[in-house]
Structure 1
Amino acid sequence: MMTETKWRMRRYVPTMEEYMSNAVVSFALGPIVLTSLYFVEKRLLGSIVNDYEYNALFRLMSTCGRLLNDIQGFERESSEGKLDSVSLLVVHSDGSMSTGAAKEAIRRSIASCRKDLLRLVLKENSVVPRACRELFWKMCKVCHLFFSHTDEFTSPSEMVSAVNTIINEPLKQQNRNLHLSVQSDN
C-alpha cells in the first residue's frame, strides 16, 4: 500500500507489470490465507512454502481478487485519484481503449487466472497438500462473491444479503427441520 501511495504522491504512472507485481501483495490476502494454511496442514514444511507451486497458487488467487476489486472499485478509486488495472490499461493504450474495453480485457485475465488456479488445485502429485490448494480456490471464490457484481466490500447492504443467503437462511432451515423432527418424535 505504501508503494501505491508513493506512486500517487509522485504522480507516477506504473506499468501494468509494476502495478500487478505490487497489487498481488497490497490486496492483502497473504495474512488471511497464508496463516490459515498452517491450521489446515499442521506440518507445512519450509520446502512447501518456498516451492514455486505454492507461490503460484498465492499469486493467481490474489491476482483474481485484485482484478475483480479493480473492476468494481474503478469509479470510486478514480474519483480518489487512485490508479488501478482498469485506468492503467486505458492510460497505456494512448486513447485506443475505452473503460468498457479495459474492463472486458481484465475479465478475460480473471478467467485465465481462475483456470490456471483451478489447474494447480486439481493437479496430481503436487508438493502442496490438497487441502491447502483447496483453501486458495475457496478464497478465490469468496473474492468472486464479494466483487463479481458489485463492490460488496464497501456495500454493507449487499454483504448482509449475501451472508443471509449463504449462512443464516440455511441455518434457519436446518433449525426448522430439527424442530420438526423433534416434534414428530414426541
Structure 2
Amino acid sequence: MYIENELSLPWMARLDHLEHRLFIEQTNEAQSSLWMGKTSFQRLSRFHNDKLVRLATLNYEFKQSIYKTELEQLTRWCKYWGLNEMGFGREKIASACCSLPYDSPIRLMVAKGAIIITITDDFFDMKESLITELKTFTKAFQRWDGKELSGVSKKIFDALDNLVSEMATMYLEQQENSNHDITNWLRKIWYETICSWLTESEWSKNGIVPTMDEYLKVGMTSIATHTLLLPASCFVINPTLPVYSQLRPIQCESVTKLVMTICRLLNDLQSYEKEKEEGKPNSITVYMKNNSEVEMEEAVKYVKEILNKKKKELLEHVMIDGFTNLSKECRLLHLSCLKVFQMFFNSSNRYDSDTEMLDDISKAIYVPLKSIDHEGLEKNLLRPPKSPMIDLTRVPKLTPSKPPPKTPQKSVHLFTVKRI
C-alpha cells in the first residue's frame, strides 16, 4: 500500500496532514520501525516506536479537533452572510477548509476567501448572458460601494467587504508601533480578479478567441490564487515593514505569478472538455483555435510542457536559498497553496466533484485513527522513567579514607578603636 501510494500520487499533490495519517496507519498496522527504509541498527525498539506512534496519533487527533472547530466557524460565517442560501453554485465549505500548516486565523482567512471566490465565480457563470448586470456588479467593487446592488450580488459584496475589513484589522493588530492600513491594497487585488471574471464572460458571450498570451494574462488572475496568497503572506512575514515593501518586489511577483499560472494550467487540463462544450475559453482550446492544424492531444501535450517548465521554475524559487529575496516563510506558503491546487486537479477536477473529496475530508477532520492497543502503553506514555532499583547486597563497602591534614589557622588580632 505504501509503495503503491508513493508511485501513484506525486509529492506535490499530497497534503502534509493526510500524509501524516497514512504514515501513522501503515506504521501501526505493520508494527515496523517508525523510520521506514532505515537499516536495522538505526531502528528504535518496539516499545519506543509505539510510544512515538501513539504521540503522533494524539497530535493528529488534536489537529482534527482544531479543523473541526474551524469548519463549524466557517459554516456559521456562511450562514450569517447568507452565502449558503444562494440557490446556485457549489457548496465547498469543507473543501475550502484545507489544513494549511499555519495558525488558525490564517487558515480561516484563506478558507473564507476561497468560499467567496467559488461563489462569485459561479455567479459570473450563472449571469454570463447578462453582461450589463455583471458590469454593474464589477463597478460596485471599483467604487467599493454596494448600495446599488441587491439580492445575491449584495450578499457577495457584503461578505467580501467584511472579509477585507477583517484582514486589514488583523494586520494592524499584528504590527508593532505602526499604522499601515492595507484595506485599499486588498480591495485592489479583489477588484482585479472580478475584472478578469468579467472579461472571460464577455469572451464567452461574444465568441471572442483571445491569443494564448491574452488568455494566460487574464486566466492567471481569474484563477484567483493571488487573492488568497498575498493577503496571507502579510501574516507570515515581518509585520513591522510596510506591506508594499514586502509583497511588491520583482522576486515576489515572480513567485506569485508562477503559482497563478501553474494553478490556471492545472485547472485547464482537467476541465477543457467541459469548458469546450460550454463555449468557455481554456488554454487548450485557445491554443487549438490559434493553431488550426493542431489536434487535441498535441494541445494537451503543449500545455503540459508549459506546466512542467513553470513547476520547475517555482521549485527553484522556493527551495533554493538565495535564489530570491523573498522570505522562506512566504515561499513555503506559496508552495503549500500550490500543493492544495495540485491535490484538487491532479488526475481529475476533484474540486467540482460532489464525491471525490469526501473520503479525504472525512479522514482529515472526522475519522479518528485506530489507537495502538498495547498493555500499559497509554499509562506509561507520559510517565517519567522509574529510578533503577539498587541491590544493597552488591554495593561494595567503602573504605574510609584518612582525614586530610589540618591547615594551621592564621591568628586574628582584634583592635578596639577608642573615641578621643
TM-score over 0.5 for the alignment? Answer: yes
Give the equivalent residue in structure 1 for 2:371: 176
- Distance in 2 (alpha carbons) for counterparts of 1:134 and 1:108: 24
Contact 2:251 2:326 in 1 (8 A): yes
Question: CA 1:9–1:34 in 2, change beyond 3 Å: closer, same or farther?
Answer: same
- How high is the TM-score relative to the length of structure 2? 0.41
Q: Deviations over 1:21-65 (max 9, x none)?
A: 011110011221111112222426422211111111111111111
Give the equivalent residue in structure 1 for 2:335: 137
Task: After the TM superposition, list the runs of 4 or more consecutive aligned residues in structure 1 that deviate by more than 6 angstroms.
Answer: none
- How high is the TM-score relative to the length of structure 1? 0.88
Note if 1:23 corresponds to 2:207: no
The residue type paired with residue 250 of structure 2 is Y
The residue type paired with residue 15 of structure 1 is T
The residue type paired with residue 79 of structure 1 is E
The residue type paired with residue 26 of structure 1 is S
Deviates more, 1:36-45 or 1:61-70: 36-45
- Distance in 2 (alpha carbons) for counterparts of 1:178 and 1:14: 62
- Distance in 1 (alpha carbons) for counterparts of 2:374 and 2:199: 55
Q: Which runs of 5+ in 2 are unaligned?
A: 1-196, 384-420
Q: Which residue among 196, 209, 213 is the counterpart of 1:13?
A: 209
Shift of 1:92: 1.0
The residue type paired with residue 98 of structure 1 is E
Note if 1:105 corresponds to 2:302: yes
Q: Which residue among 270, 288, 296 is the counterpart of 1:72?
A: 270
The residue type paired with residue 75 of structure 1 is E
Give the equivalent residue in structure 2 for 1:127: 325
- Distance in 2 (alpha carbons) for counterparts of 1:159 and 1:148: 12
- Distance in 2 (alpha carbons) for counterparts of 1:178 and 1:131: 39
Q: Which residue among 154, 160, 183 is the counterpart of 2:358?
A: 160
Greater helix fraction, Structure 1 or Structure 2: 1
Q: Deviations over 1:124-174 (max 9, x none)?
A: 233211010011111111111110100011112111233345x258x722x
Q: Which residue among 251, 257, 261 is the counterpart of 1:63?
A: 261
Identical counterparts, % of pairs: 25
- Distance in 2 (alpha carbons) for counterparts of 1:35 and 1:63: 18
Which structure has more relative contact order (CA 8 Å, sep 6+)? It is: 1
| Cα root mean square deviation, aligned | 2.4
Q: Which residue among 252, 257, 260 is the counterpart of 1:54?
A: 252
Contact 1:48 1:127 in 2 (8 A): no
- Distance in 1 (alpha carbons) for counterparts of 2:354 and 2:238: 35
Give 3-state SS (helix, strand or coil) of 1:156's partner: coil
Give the equivalent residue in structure 1 for 2:200: 4
Deviates more, 1:120-129 or 1:84-93: 120-129
Q: Deviations over 1:86-139 (max 9, x none)?
A: 101111111x21112111111111111110001111232332110100111111
- Distance in 1 (alpha carbons) for counterparts of 2:374 and 2:337: 33
- Distance in 2 (alpha carbons) for counterparts of 1:61 and 1:179: 46
Give the structure with higher Rg (CA).
Answer: 2
Deviates more, 1:140-149 or 1:42-51: 42-51
Give the equivalent residue in structure 1 for 2:418: none
- Distance in 2 (alpha carbons) for counterparts of 1:124 and 1:23: 30
